[in-house]
Chain A
Amino acid sequence: MYKYDNIDKTLVDQRVAQFRDQVTRRLNGTLTEEAFRPLRLQNGLYHQRHAYMLRVAIPYGLFNSKQLRTLANISEKYDRGYGHFTTRQNIQYNWVTLEDTPDILADLAKVEMHAIQTSGNCIRNITSDAFAGVAADEYVDTRPICELLRQWSTLHPEFAHLPRKFKFAVNGAKEDRTVMLCHDVGIELKKNVVGELTANIYAGGGMGRTPILGSLIKTELPWQLLPSYLTALLRVYNRFGRRDNLYKARIKILVKALGPEEFSRQVEGEWLHLQNSDDNFTQVEWDRVAKHFTKPPYKTLPMLTTEHILENVSEAEATAFTRWLERNVKPHQVPGYASVILSLKPHGTVAPGDATTAQMNAIADLADKFSFGELRSTHEQNLVLADVEQAELYELWQQAKKQNVALPNVGLLTDIIACPGGDFCSLANAKSLPIAKAIQERFDDLDYLFDLGDISLNISGCINSCGHHHVGNIGVLGVDKDGEEWYQITLGGEQGNDTSIGKVIGPSFYADEIPDVITNVINTYVNHRSEDESFIQAYRRLGVAPFKEAAYQNAKKKEKADAKSAGESV
């Protein structure tokens, strides 16, 4: 795992001091709230419905047990005993005070963590595949490049006040686990035919009110040239992105307005003047960073079959454990090892992605005991122990169960991605968390969930799409009509290699109708599926019509909904 050198350490310490001074000036009134706002946002400090919320970066999702214990301590000392893991590999605290924030940042700095650029109109925390370095389907370990890009983007002066936020995702595996095409820039790392590390660049993706998938604008860019190319790209966006309308300020709108070819041409034009500059990464930098991402001291172990793993498991536990093996355990590059997903979506949970202080501390212990003290956070708001010996899976499972993080629902209907919604977020049109809870309550039969197989259900409390509802097979979006909370359903979204944006099926529903609507949609799938066909495959074959019909079959308030949504563009 990356270890700060003196440069990183000095920079983060000095950043804490700078922010401490800004907070002091805010508190003594010499800095106005208007001027402070972008400054605090660039340090991940939001003002939410009830309190300040602090978003802490977990760069490319990788952290260690010591850091997790610090995150746990922070949740206890400064917050209300829990933290919320987000879709972009950050963790959020919902109840911090402005006065405490500099001290929290100082605590984080001691364990090589920070909140720099986790929000604001700048280059945000860079996300990557949670399984980087261990995934069986990986072409390239993305972590060294992610770390180099983290450094390059940290406090970048030219791009500190972009038209809008700017999100990078980096993928290096066959299966995209980063929703790369829904990022402002997606970087796909590959080895070319002669074995050199190169990048394909996708630009202009994003969700929000205008969901758009990124377009391929550059192929086989040598890794060393990433800083100059990205500088050119960001410079075009900084200069020509729209600033007159908040909703049209993301790069996706610029790329769409110009067309990907013209956008790419402009970037190339700018890049011509930069590509030979010493902004580019050097081998020295690569070596300095990459040495931290070597493999942990793996043992030479035999590859175990499921039968082997199940050998000493009692019959009473065999079914439950096998389920967990199937859903929550992923193949590894190294024989005898596996990666384990700890589900932060136990049924009856308060919020998807939440972990309590006690859970965080216990998970840190599990990481020490089973996975070289390292962890990952995932886009789906779960945690990963990446390097577990297959022979220890049973013991890990038993201990994880005690922490309520062993529910075998990864990838299933109750592995819900949800934003904090109206319970916390001041931008919300509707609540998300009670909807997630109601769906989990309706579908809490594991046998049934297992039979349904892979389905993603994502919930956002407003069109900003923090819950990624656009790319859920089933998406739920909170909408406001005359001060009432309504929910719009999208179907057919998907993340991964066939990333697609879901389609709105029609007028919205009341909160209490949602479990029935989901049930009807699911039943349609069950009734029409052919063997081994997943929900999304069935949807693609059948089209929206049967699902839509089922969704509205007993919509008691449909007429009212129709009336209310007349004239509203969806």
Chain B
Amino acid sequence: MSDANSTPSSLVQSHDEVLVFPKGGNPSLTSNKWQVWNGSQDEGGLPALDLVSHGVLVPLVWWIEHHHEMDVIAKAKNGQIGVWFAADDDILKHAELIEAGKQYWPLVAAYFPLFRDGRSFSTAALLRERLGWTKEIRMIGDVLIDQLLQGARVGFDSFALRNDQDLGVALKQFDLYSVTTQNSWRDKRTLLDQTQ
């Protein structure tokens, strides 16, 4: 069901550092412990995890196919596997699987094939609002500075920026606005906040 447009065989290169912005906390940079794997050359199975600093984010379609395998279960139990959603993955169709994944995956990610493709904004919103995902959600793919604010408000709390983006400028994106006129994952619209 994935088209070439949403799950490219070569993924967008991101910075070595990720920007993390926990809800209620401050944005900061940290080293990236997760490799995003596109699952396309899976004859050999998962990438050798000892070569990866911590864990690997696998595509949802790969997880669906392989999550009963012993070594996959073992690594998942070890907290070394997370899942990423392609822009056209209908996550609501896999609600049960995601529910089950809550016990394994330290984080999930949603992929932006192109910065101006906003499908994954809705994915994050659904993960938070509907599927009750409380751990980290990472924005991956063609992630540019000027989409961070929207990402932060729909439910993302970590951001793997495209490797040509200026991390210093990126860090300053989140305090551009002190007011909002609609609710988001982070805050209620300012008016509602004031009247409560």
Contacts and interface: CB of A to CB of B under 8 A. Distances in A.
Interface of A: 6-8, 10-11, 14, 17-18, 22, 25, 30-31, 35, 38-39, 121, 151-162, 227, 235, 238-239, 243-244, 273-274, 277-279, 282, 284-285, 288
B5 A35 contact: no
Contacts of A11: 177, 179-181
B100 interface: no
A158 B178 contact: no
The 10 closest A-B pairs by CB, nearest first: A161-B118, A157-B153, A157-B150, A151-B181, A158-B121, A7-B179, A160-B150, A238-B122, A10-B179, A161-B116
A306 to B, nearest CB: 46
Contacts of A277: 183
A64 B5 CA distance: 47
B119 interface: yes
B129 to A, nearest CB: 7
Contacts, number: 103
B176 interface: yes
Contacts of A284: 191, 195
A121 B130 contact: no
B190 A239 contact: no
A282 B190 contact: no
Contacts of A151: 181-182, 189
Given A157-B149, A162-B118, A14 B5 contact: no
A162 B118 CA distance: 6
Nearest to B130: A273
Contacts of B116: 38, 121, 161
B181 A155 contact: yes
Given A35-B144, A235-B126, A279-B182, 5 more contacts: A10-B178, A14-B178, A159-B118, A161-B115, A243-B5
A235 B181 contact: no
Contact of B176 (A6, A14, A157, A285): A14
A227 B183 CA distance: 10
A155 B118 CA distance: 14
A278 B188 contact: yes
A7 B191 contact: yes
A14 B166 CA distance: 21
Contacts of B74: none
Interface in B102-158: 115-119, 121-123, 125-126, 129-130, 144, 146-147, 149-151, 153-154
B149 to A, nearest CB: 7
Given A11-B177, A18-B176, A244-B5, A35 B118 contact: no
A361 B53 CA distance: 66
Given A158-B154, A273-B130, A235 B122 contact: yes
B195 to A, nearest CB: 5
A278 B178 contact: no
A7 B190 contact: yes
Nearest to B113: A243
Contacts of B180: 11, 155
Contacts of B154: 157-158
Contacts of B69: none
Given A162-B118, A288-B191, A235 B144 contact: no
A95 to B, nearest CB: 26
A441 to B, nearest CB: 44
Nearest to B193: A7
B90 interface: yes
A17 B117 CA distance: 25
Contacts of A10: 178-179
Contacts of B3: 244
How many chain B residues sit at the interface, stated as a range, is: 35 or more
Contact of A239 (B90, B129, B146, B169): B90
B184 interface: yes
B168 to A, nearest CB: 11
B159 to A, nearest CB: 14
B192 interface: yes
Q: Which of B5, B90, B146 has the most CB of A within 10 A?
A: B146
B125 A278 contact: no
25 contacts: A8-B181, A18-B177, A31-B146, A121-B116, A152-B181, A153-B182, A154-B182, A157-B184, A158-B150, A158-B154, A159-B121, A160-B147, A160-B150, A161-B121, A235-B125, A239-B119, A239-B122, A239-B123, A243-B119, A273-B130, A274-B129, A277-B183, A278-B188, A278-B192, A284-B191
B146 A39 contact: yes
B181 A158 contact: no
A119 B121 CA distance: 20
Contacts of A152: 181-182
A7 B184 contact: no
B177 to A, nearest CB: 5
Contacts of B125: 158, 235
Contacts of B183: 277-279
Contact of A156 (B182, B190, B191, B195): B182
Interface string B36-54: 0000000000000000000
A155 B178 CA distance: 13
Contacts of B191: 7, 284-285, 288
Given A35-B146, A39-B146, A154-B181, A243 B117 contact: yes
Nearest to A41: B116
A159 B150 CA distance: 9
Output the residue of B121, B150, B169, B195 with the most chain A CB within 10 A: B121
Contact of A14 (B151, B177, B182, B188): B177
Contact of A158 (B118, B169, B192): B118
Interface in B1-34: 3, 5
Contacts of B179: 6-7, 10-11, 14
Contact of A238 (B121, B149, B151): B121
A39 B148 CA distance: 13
Contacts of A121: 116, 118
Nearest to B166: A30
A380 B138 CA distance: 47
Contacts of B188: 278
Nearest to A10: B179
A156 B182 CA distance: 7
Max chain B C-beta neighbours (<10 A), residue from A10, A155, A243, A285: A243
A104 to B, nearest CB: 20
A161 B142 CA distance: 13
Contacts of A278: 183, 188, 192
A64 to B, nearest CB: 22
Given A30-B166, A155-B181, A158-B150, A273 B129 contact: yes
Q: Interface centre among A31, A35, A152, A244, by most B CB within 10 Å? A: A35
A7 B193 CA distance: 12
Nearest to A159: B118
A7 B121 CA distance: 25
Interface in B39-84: none
